[in-house]
């Protein structure tokens, strides 16, 4: 029988609901009629998927996929769970202060918190000079906020010591792009991947780090494109790739040089393109001459035939693209690795065409935008150099200060930690970062932070770093403020405020402006909101390589995002670079750079004969501060593990200790043939004592100053007990949400298992 439909509660257009009675028809009555869908983007990785936040009664309560150009409804588990941060019971809602590190953090008023901060800044700078106070920003901040962090450091603090956690992300790629092309961004939009004939992915576990990008990858493969994956691990995309080059960690430059060697030897170079558009080709040719396939096979630990196979596949494809990520960038030769990939693209003429080019896959949501406007130690807004007198004059004029008052270039994030240890930096303000988990060589990082006379940290959960600070300032999550981010394609997208922040929480912009007022430069920071900051940023970037002048909030609202450079308000933006064959260098040429290879910084010996490499897991984001409290994600990946090859004789779940020259920790083994026998892998999202970064080395690339996270020497051995995962830190007097849940679960009466299909509540 067919039951009559209730038009109020039945789906529109439905003519037949069901043939038998029983299901209360209103079970599907959601509150859709009363909810608002706020179009915005995910707060996590550099794909910046479009999504709707579901808002009811002024509160974010859910998520709905959004048909945005970038992701076409797709979302990964992080995106689907991100909204749970917004009204999470673990949120910080009052500033917390302690007078010394032995005290407990106690709630104080905002007035008091800001007064203490300003007083400490003045004291430290008066006693030890302006550079004794540092500022560390983050690349998860909106671009407006990263601009403010840079301006605050130079104008309010007048310190040279400002840097950001994007330094740990993709500065190697940025450095290589600047050297070769004079412009620091991916050359092609994601949509170009659909048009390519050969896609090379180097050092990127796309399936776990950028899951939504896989739809482009599969779109290309449905058309018949081939896929080459260069990665020590057999990742989910490597599993079905045409060629998987499982090279030894830290040998990428040698591999790509050898590929170019074969391209040259087999006459597959696009000589016309090289002659017309490049400088430095002869030096590149000379540098790769010694990297024969046999030599690469020996260095990289792969069959020589794979080098030839990759060279032929890439060079003979009508349109080929290379995308790379941290796997080749997190090295002491991170810049060189990226240059080697660029050389391959340029030599084969794969640039500036649909389906042909290169890109870097940004880790952090605003990894791209976060470094464009002066948050980096050596950069001023618009990608200007802080060492260039012309650039300094331009920015000083925009900011209304004397050029002489602008500090010079500072040091990088890891170097700043060493300066803290040595007492050169005595006070620090951290905004939206968690170095206790994200920096390498944990014990050194802790020493550096512990040596600080004053440390204030802005965050919305009590991160491991904030829990160690003197002062914690509770700030908004992404859905509580307006702003823009630039994704991995350099497409600027608009994030929208979906709800008011909880009582006691302020925006990072407000915090910086209030501090500036207390430091006597309030007139330079008289902003009422994000759009006003963005308007200043537009002007500050006008005429530079990173030109945002033509981008406005209104235009972003009308479009799916605009890729910079966008010099005026009628300009459509620049999704694809170099279509006219000209780069951003003054001569318009590609400056090819010769690349060699040197071994990783941490030497192997009898004590430490294997490689440790680190990376991500799909359920967690970077230091895990944002994701290690979200139930679904914790359930999906509750703890780190160690991936080992079966040849070591371990069984799944066995406690295995990994030792390096800096530390050790014990993880359960995941025994798999998907990793090289000479290599182990540990994901890095967890804090000490289960931190991969307790073990990693803080050796830096000399140019980009990125740490060599992706390879260090190690040994493994059987252990008795797995190191337990610590609970996330909580403010005093508040029990962790997870702990509260556990306690409630324990109070429930015991139930008997019914075997398969049983789901415990």
Partner 1 sequence: MMGRTIVIDPGRCIGCQACVSACRECDSHRGRSMIHLDYLDQGSSVASSPTVCMHCEDPLAPCAQVCPAEAILVTPDGVVHDADKSRCIGCGNCVNACPMGVPKIDLAAKLQFKCNLCYDRTSYGLAPMCATVCPTGSIFYGTLDELRTERPGVEVASTFDIDGTILSTGVAVVVPRDRPRGLPLPGGAGEHPRVTGSPQPAGHLEPNADNVLGEPLP
Range 626-645, binding partner 1 (CB under 8 A): 632-633, 636
User: Is residue 443 a contact point for partner 1 (CB under 8 A)?
Assistant: no
Q: Which of 248, 261, 324, 710 binds partner 1 (CB under 8 A)?
A: 248
Q: Which of 18, 393, 443, 742 binds partner 1 (CB under 8 A)?
A: 18
- The minimum distance between CB 142 and partner 1, in angstroms, equals 25
Yes or no: say if 326 and 169 are a contact pair by the CB < 8 Å rule.
yes
- Computed from CA positions of residues 639, 642, 645, 647, in that sequence, does the dihedral angle turn out positive or negative? negative
Q: What would the DSSP string read from start to end of 531-597?
A: HHHHHHHHHHHTTSTT--TT--HHHHHHSS-EESP--STT----SSS-TTS--SSTT--EE------
User: Is residue 60 a contact point for partner 1 (CB under 8 A)?
Assistant: no
User: Is residue 240 a contact point for partner 1 (CB under 8 A)?
Assistant: yes
Structure tokens at 293: 């396939």
Characterise 738 by phi-psi region: left (phi > 0), alpha (psi -120 to 50), beta (else): alpha
User: Is residue 668 a contact point for partner 1 (CB under 8 A)?
Assistant: no
User: Is residue 24 a contact point for partner 1 (CB under 8 A)?
Assistant: yes
- Looking at the DSSP bridge assignments, the partners of residue 73 are none
CA-based R_g, the chain, Å: 26
Residue among 245, 144, 134 at smallest CA distance from 478: 144
Total of chain residues touching partner 1, rule CB under 8 A? 114
Structure tokens at 238: 């490597």
User: Is residue 671 a contact point for partner 1 (CB under 8 A)?
Assistant: yes
User: Is residue 444 a contact point for partner 1 (CB under 8 A)?
Assistant: yes
Structure tokens at 451: 């040596």
Q: Which of 227, 413, 692, 716 binds partner 1 (CB under 8 A)?
A: 227
Q: For residues 730-759, which are near partner 1 according to CB under 8 A?
A: 748, 751-752, 754-759
Q: For residues 321-360, which are near partner 1 according to CB under 8 A?
A: 332
Contacting range for partner 1; rule: CB under 8 A; set: 11-19, 369-377, 525-533, 685-693 = 11-19
User: Is residue 646 a contact point for partner 1 (CB under 8 A)?
Assistant: yes
Closest to partner 1 by CB, 441 or 546: 441
Task: For the chain, give the number of residues.
Answer: 761
Residue 750 DSSP class: P
Q: For residues 388-417, which are near partner 1 according to CB under 8 A?
A: 411, 414-415
Q: What angle do CA 596, 599, 605 make, to 5 degrees?
A: 160
Q: Which of 282, 283, 298, 568 binds partner 1 (CB under 8 A)?
A: 298
- The minimum distance between CB 674 and partner 1, in angstroms, equals 5
Q: For residues 465-524, which are near partner 1 according to CB under 8 A?
A: none
Which residues have C-beta within 8 Å of that of residue 666, sequence separation ≥ 6? 655, 656, 657, 658, 719, 721, 722, 723
User: Is residue 760 a contact point for partner 1 (CB under 8 A)?
Assistant: yes
Closest to partner 1 by CB, 184 or 208: 208
- SS3 readout for 611-624: EEEEECCCCCCCCC
CA dihedral 348, 354, 355, 361 (to 10 degrees): 100
- The minimum distance between CB 243 and partner 1, in angstroms, equals 9
Q: Is 320 helix (H, G, I), strand (E, B) or coil?
A: strand
Query: How many other C-beta atoms can be found within 10 angstroms of the C-beta atom of residue 641?
Result: 19
Query: How many other C-beta atoms can be found within 10 angstroms of the C-beta atom of residue 107?
Result: 18
Closest to partner 1 by CB, 512 or 699: 699
Closest to partner 1 by CB, 83 or 527: 83
Closest to partner 1 by CB, 713 or 730: 713
Cα atoms found within 13 Å of the Cα of residue 108, Cβ hemisphere only:
19
Q: For residues 693-722, which are near partner 1 according to CB under 8 A?
A: 697-702, 708, 713
User: Is residue 4 a contact point for partner 1 (CB under 8 A)?
Assistant: no
- The minimum distance between CB 83 and partner 1, in angstroms, equals 9
Closest to partner 1 by CB, 240 or 532: 240
Q: Which of 234, 270, 531, 536 binds partner 1 (CB under 8 A)?
A: 234
Closest to partner 1 by CB, 678 or 735: 678
Q: For residues 74-93, which are near partner 1 according to CB under 8 A?
A: 74-77, 79-81
| Phi/psi at 656 (5° precision) | -125, 125
User: Is residue 129 a contact point for partner 1 (CB under 8 A)?
Assistant: no
User: Is residue 63 a contact point for partner 1 (CB under 8 A)?
Assistant: yes
User: Is residue 660 a contact point for partner 1 (CB under 8 A)?
Assistant: no
Closest to partner 1 by CB, 230 or 274: 230
Q: For residues 165-224, which are near partner 1 according to CB under 8 A?
A: 207-208, 211-215, 218, 221-222, 224
User: Is residue 253 a contact point for partner 1 (CB under 8 A)?
Assistant: no
Contacting range for partner 1; rule: CB under 8 A; set: 13-21, 365-373, 541-549, 571-579 = 13-21
Query: How many other C-beta atoms can be found within 10 angstroms of the C-beta atom of residue 443?
Result: 11
Contacting range for partner 1; rule: CB under 8 A; set: 178-186, 235-243, 252-260, 392-400 = 235-243
Contacting range for partner 1; rule: CB under 8 A; set: 136-144, 297-305, 508-516, 728-736 = 297-305
Q: Which of 11, 33, 58, 733 binds partner 1 (CB under 8 A)?
A: 11
Q: For residues 560-599, which are near partner 1 according to CB under 8 A?
A: 598-599
Structure tokens at 517: 């007022």
Residue among 486, 484, 432, 430 at smallest CA distance from 454: 430
Q: What would the DSSP string read from start to end of 160-205?
A: S-EEEGGGGTTHHHHHHHHHHHS--S-SS-GGGGGG-SEEEEES--
Place of tokens 């050359």: 187
User: Is residue 447 a contact point for partner 1 (CB under 8 A)?
Assistant: no
Structure tokens at 599: 């071994």
User: Is residue 121 a contact point for partner 1 (CB under 8 A)?
Assistant: no
């Amino acid at each position: 029988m067919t039951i009559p439909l209730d038009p109020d509660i039945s789906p529109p257009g439905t003519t037949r609901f069901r043939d038998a009675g029983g299901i209360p028809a209103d079970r599907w009555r959601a509150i859709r009629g009363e909810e608002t869908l706020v179009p915005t983007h995910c707060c996590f990785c550099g794909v910046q998927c479009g999504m709707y936040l579901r808002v009811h009664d002024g509160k974010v309560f859910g998520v709905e996929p959004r048909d945005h150009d970038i992701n076409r409804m797709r979302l990964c588990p992080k995106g689907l769970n991100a909204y749970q941060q917004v009204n999470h019971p673990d949120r910080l809602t009052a500033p917390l202060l302690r007078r010394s590190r032995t005290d407990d953090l106690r709630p104080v008023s905002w007035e008091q918190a800001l007064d203490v901060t300003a007083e400490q800044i003045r004291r430290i700078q008066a006693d030890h000079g302006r550079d004794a106070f540092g500022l560390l920003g983050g690349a998860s901040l909106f671009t407006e906020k990263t601009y403010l962090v840079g301006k605050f450091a130079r104008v309010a603090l007048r310190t040279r010591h400002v840097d950001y956690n994007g330094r740990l992300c993709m500065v190697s790629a940025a450095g290589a792009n600047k050297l070769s092309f004079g412009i620091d961004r991916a050359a092609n939009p994601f949509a170009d991947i659909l048009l390519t004939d050969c896609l090379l992915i180097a050092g990127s576990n796309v399936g776990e780090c950028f899951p939504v990008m896989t739809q482009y990858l599969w779109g290309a493969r449905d058309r018949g494109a081939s896929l080459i994956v260069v990665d020590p691990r057999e990742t989910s995309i490597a599993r079905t790739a045409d060629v998987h080059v499982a090279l030894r960690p830290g040998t990428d430059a040698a591999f790509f040089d050898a590929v170019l060697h074969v391209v040259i030897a087999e006459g597959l170079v696009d000589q016309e393109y090289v002659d017309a558009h490049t400088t430095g080709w002869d030096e590149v040719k000379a540098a790769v001459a010694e990297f024969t396939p046999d030599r690469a096979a020996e260095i990289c630990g792969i069959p020589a035939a794979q080098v030839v196979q990759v060279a032929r596949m890439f060079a003979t494809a009508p349109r080929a693209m290379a995308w790379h990520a941290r796997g080749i960038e997190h090295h002491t030769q991170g810049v060189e690795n990226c240059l080697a990939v660029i050389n391959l693209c340029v030599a084969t003429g794969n640039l500036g065409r649909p389906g042909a080019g290169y890109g870097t896959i940004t880790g952090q949501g605003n990894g791209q935008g976060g470094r464009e406007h002066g948050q980096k130690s050596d950069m001023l807004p618009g990608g200007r150099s802080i060492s260039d007198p012309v650039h300094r004059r331009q920015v000083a004029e925009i900011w209304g200060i004397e050029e002489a008052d602008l500090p010079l270039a500072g040091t990088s994030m890891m170097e700043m930690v060493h300066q803290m240890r040595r007492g050169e930096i005595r006070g620090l303000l951290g905004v939206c970062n968690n170095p206790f988990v994200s920096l390498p060589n944990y014990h050194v990082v802790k020493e550096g932070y512990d040596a600080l006379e004053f440390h204030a940290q802005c965050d919305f959960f009590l991160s491991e770093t904030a829990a160690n600070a003197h002062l914690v300032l509770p700030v908004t999550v992404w859905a509580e403020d307006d702003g823009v981010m630039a994704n991995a394609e350099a497409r600027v997208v608009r994030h929208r405020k979906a709800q008011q922040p909880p009582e006691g929480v302020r925006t990072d912009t407000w915090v910086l402006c209030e501090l500036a007022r207390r430091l006597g430069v309030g007139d330079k920071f008289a902003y009422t909101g994000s759009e006003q900051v963005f308007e200043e940023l537009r002007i500050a970037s006008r005429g530079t390589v990173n030109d945002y002048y033509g981008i406005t909030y209104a235009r972003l609202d009308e479009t799916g995002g605009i890729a910079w450079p966008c010099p005026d308000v009628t300009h459509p933006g620049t999704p694809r670079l170099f279509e006219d064959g000209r780069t951003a260098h003054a001569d318009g040429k590609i400056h090819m750079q010769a690349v060699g290879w040197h071994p990783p910084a941490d030497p192997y010996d009898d004590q430490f004969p294997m490689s440790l490499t680190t990376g991500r897991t799909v359920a967690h984001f970077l230091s895990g501060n944002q994701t290690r409290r979200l139930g679904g994600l914790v359930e999906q990946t509750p703890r780190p593990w160690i991936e080992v090859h079966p040849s070591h004789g371990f069984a799944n779940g066995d406690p295995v200790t990994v030792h390096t020259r800096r530390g050790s920790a014990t993880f359960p083994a995941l025994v798999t043939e998907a990793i090289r026998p000479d290599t182990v892998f540990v994901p890095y999202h967890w804090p000490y004592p289960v931190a991969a970064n307790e073990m990693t080395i803080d050796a830096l690339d000399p140019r980009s100053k990125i740490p060599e996270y992706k390879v260090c020497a190690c040994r493994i051995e059987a252990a008795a007990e797995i190191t337990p995962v610590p609970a996330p830190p909580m403010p005093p007097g508040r029990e962790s949400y997870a702990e509260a849940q556990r306690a409630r679960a324990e109070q429930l009466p015991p139930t008997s298992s019914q075997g398969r299909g049983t789901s415990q509540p």
